[in-house]
Every structure is written in C-alpha cells, then in structure tokens.
A and B are shown apart, each in its own frame.
Chain A
C-alpha cells in the first residue's frame, strides 16, 4: 500500500484531500468452507478517476463493492473511502457515496418520479438541487415519470437506478456491473453517460465482465478468483504484453485452430472473432515463416498480420501465467 502513496506525485503529507478510495489488503471469506472471495486486494482510486474492476463472475467484484459501500464487513485488511474507514466510519460513507448494485434494487411499486424523490429526500436534498447531474439521463425517462419502476424495461430501470444513485451528488459513484446482459448498442450509450459524469468530477468505480469496456476506463484492475492480476492504465497493460502477437485467418477456421493448437512452433493460440490469435516460439521470426508453416499443413487463403494485443489478449495471457 505504501508503494501507492510513493508513486503518486503528491506526497501524502501535503495532500489537501484524501484519495477517493484506498483498499489495503482487503479480504473476504465466506461460509463454513472458508471460500476466499476477495484475497488481499489493494488498489487506490484518485479523485475524479474512472476506475474499472474487470473480470468474470466469481472474480470478487461484488464483494469488493459491498465492503467499500459498508454493506459487508471485511475479514481482513481495510479500506478508506473519501478518507473514511469502511468499518469505523460507515455512517459518513453512507451519506456521501452513491451505489448502483448489479441487481435492480429500487422500489417496484413506486413510480419513476417517486423513486427519485424518495432517494433525494433520504439524503436530505431535492431533485432540483442536483438536477444538472441527472438531466442528460432523466430527460430520457421524463415522459414515463408516472410509470411504476417494476413495469419499466431493463434499459429504463438501469437509467433510473443511475439517477437515484446520483441525486445526492455523491463524491464516489459505485456501479456494479451496470452493463451485464445489455446489448452492444445500449452498452455504448451507457459508457457515454459515464464519460459525461466524469466531466462533472465524480469519481467512478465500475465493474464489468466485458473486456472491451476496459479501454473506456482511466485505469483498470484485471481480476480473477478474488485476486488482482494486473493494475494500470489500459494502455500500459497492453504495452506490457510480453510476446509478439499475430492475427491469422485461413479458408477453414476450425481446421486452422486445430493446426495451431497442435503445432510445436506455436506457444499459444485461440479463436478471436474472425481471426485466430497466436504467439510463437523463438525460431519463428516473421509472417512469411508462419504462412509457410500453415501452407505446409494444408491451409488455404492464409492471412497473417502482426497486431497489438487487446485487453482480452492480456487477460488470457495473465490467466496462463
């Protein structure tokens, strides 16, 4: 944890405001079988940052969210949100953060307007006072404002939940898998909303199982089974990919994948959309070597190009490491 402070440009002693989130060896263990859901996770989120926890189900994302929002006690380590201790100062944290759980948690029997008004009142504010924060999103809901939340479509529920999490002008916004199960077009729209919120200086911690959303964050932590595999800016993670990666295509893709999977010159290979991605052992040096090898194996219409890895390639590499 000390390392995090040392790496920041601003020394701790002269900091005017604490970082938005500091998690220090945060740990959560469940049940009689002592399943470690979160395993000594440490990270820091700066004020105004859009930080992503990226990983599949079971990575520990939701447990981290629930600990940081004071809904779950850690079994080890600690964390600060806005400089407040998540165990001792839980009341202050509850006043200042906004939380949108992965599961829809508004009142289904209240209308859109009633839900929003309820959350504003609970936090001692009014819709008018912070309307500027939700305006962009709320205008899309306004003509349905008398509809009960339980009767809304998935996309509208999601927008309302975001409005309710924002209405008290939270210092830190926690969004747990806001785009899971959402189609690509709606996902894109949601991330555009987040970008606009970021411009209003709200710190956002967001989780997602979709690797392609990682590049939309300022910094990310790649997570698997309770542990952080890597933590950095998406660019830096991509730059740290250690191998030369090739995208390869041939007439018959299933056959190509089999050839790559069994060839002893191939280090790793897997399907990636319309291409296969592969890395090679040392004695393969250029595209032409790969083409020759594949021609020899009976492939036709071969295309090979050197490419920059995506976050998903990095994640796969880290899983195999």
Chain B
C-alpha cells in the first residue's frame, strides 16, 4: 500500500482577484521523485510555499508528512528539507560551519552534527575544502553540498526548486545521483526544473498551466497520451496556450 506524504485537495491561493494556485489536488508517495513542472507564472512557487508551510492557503486542504498546512506549519518545517538555486548556503561561512549551522537549526545534537559532518564531508570528497569559505567553491559543489545539507536531518520530504540551473551537464547528472540515493532511502523528492530531460528522471510529473494542474502521470504515460516523443513536446503542447506569463 502506497503511503501519501503529500496530500492536497483543491488547494487554492488567491491574491485579491488573482488566483495564483487554483484547486490543486495531488498525492505524492513515500520515496517518490515527483516533478512539479509548469511555465513561468503558472503558480508553482505559490504552491510550493503552501506545501512548505510558508504561506497559508485561501481554501482547500493539504497535509504534508501528516501535518496540516493551516495549523501545523512549524511541524511541517521540521519534517521537510528545502533547497533552491537562489538560496542554499551561507557564502561567508565555511563548509563545516554551514553544516553545523543547518544541523543546529534542525535540532540535531552536537554528537549527531559531528558524526554527520564527518560522514558528509567524506562522502562528497570535500576533506580539503571543509575549512574553506563556501563562496570559493565551484557552483556544482555548492549545489551538491546544499542538497546534502537539506537532507541532513533526514526529512520525510525534500523540496528542490530548480536545483540544477546553470550547472554543467556532468555535474547535473551527479546531482541526480544524489536525488536517486535519497529517494532509495525513502526520502520523498518534490522537484521543479526547466530541463525537460530531468522530467524523465521523475517517477511522476505534474504540469501546471495558469494556476491549474493540466496533466499528472508518469512521463511514459504522458508521452503516450499526448502522442509525443519527448516530455519537451508534452510540455509544449500543454503550456503553449497559457494566458499567464510570469
């Protein structure tokens, strides 16, 4: 029996007359890699903010890791990890300080932090960089480190907002290996991307157009349904008619 760790029902957010996210209904299962796609301005960021407990919905229901998005936002935050291309790590702290800082924020004990820092630094091969400022790391390493920090406290779900933007093709693939590893350990991955080849790496994807989910299925089924060779084509067919542009 598949267990839903993200469950939304008609989740809606209005800003005045504008319906940013319109009656979002979906379920994401434990250990699943779920691709959350959509054109700029489709309402992805607003939806993500609600799912992370950062924005209270206007109507509808949702539970994240079993917690309610209206009443239990603090518990949601404790049980998820978050990483975006824009904000991930403190540039003026060293690699080790960043790990300690985020470990502390998520309530890990000093012992746990020490143990996990060592393991993480070894796993990423950052032994020589541990005491260097993050600002000096190449982008690809920063992204890998920030993902690892986002899952340091073993959250049930990790939200990734365009995690691979601007990264070279080899590093992009190494990053996806980290995602696969996390999913294999039972972490649910909720990811947005503009790279349509990455949509193929997801178990299921949804495509949002003008605030609504217009399609939700496995990449394989979506291609079949839209009679398309690639996810790029599926996306194009759906998003081409969008009225809203961010």
Contact = CB atoms under 8 A, between A and B. Distances in A.
Interface of A: 33, 55-58, 153-156, 180-188, 209-211, 224, 254, 270-274, 312, 315-316, 319-320
B201 A209 contact: no
6 contacts: A33-B136, A56-B168, A153-B41, A155-B246, A188-B236, A315-B168
Nearest to B229: A274
B88 to A, nearest CB: 13
Interface string B51-73: 00000000000000000000000
Q: Is the interface of A mostly helix, strand, loop or mixed?
A: mixed
B169 A153 contact: no
Contacts of B220: 274
B200 A184 contact: no
Contacts of B140: 56
A210 B232 CA distance: 13
B139 A182 contact: no
Nearest to B201: A271
B205 to A, nearest CB: 12
B166 A56 contact: yes
A84 B245 CA distance: 40
A319 B165 CA distance: 18
A274 B41 contact: no
A8 B169 CA distance: 32
Contacts of B166: 56-57, 180, 209
Interface of B: 38-41, 136, 138-140, 162, 165-171, 173, 176, 180, 194-197, 200-201, 219-220, 230-232, 235-236, 239-240, 242, 245-246
Contacts of A57: 139, 166-167
A316 B239 contact: no
A188 B236 CA distance: 9
A189 to B, nearest CB: 9
A154 B40 contact: yes
A58 B139 contact: yes
Give the most central of B162, B196, B239, B245: most A CB within 10 Å: B245
Nearest to B242: A185
Given A57-B139, A182-B194, A185-B235, A270 B38 contact: no
Contacts of B197: 272-273
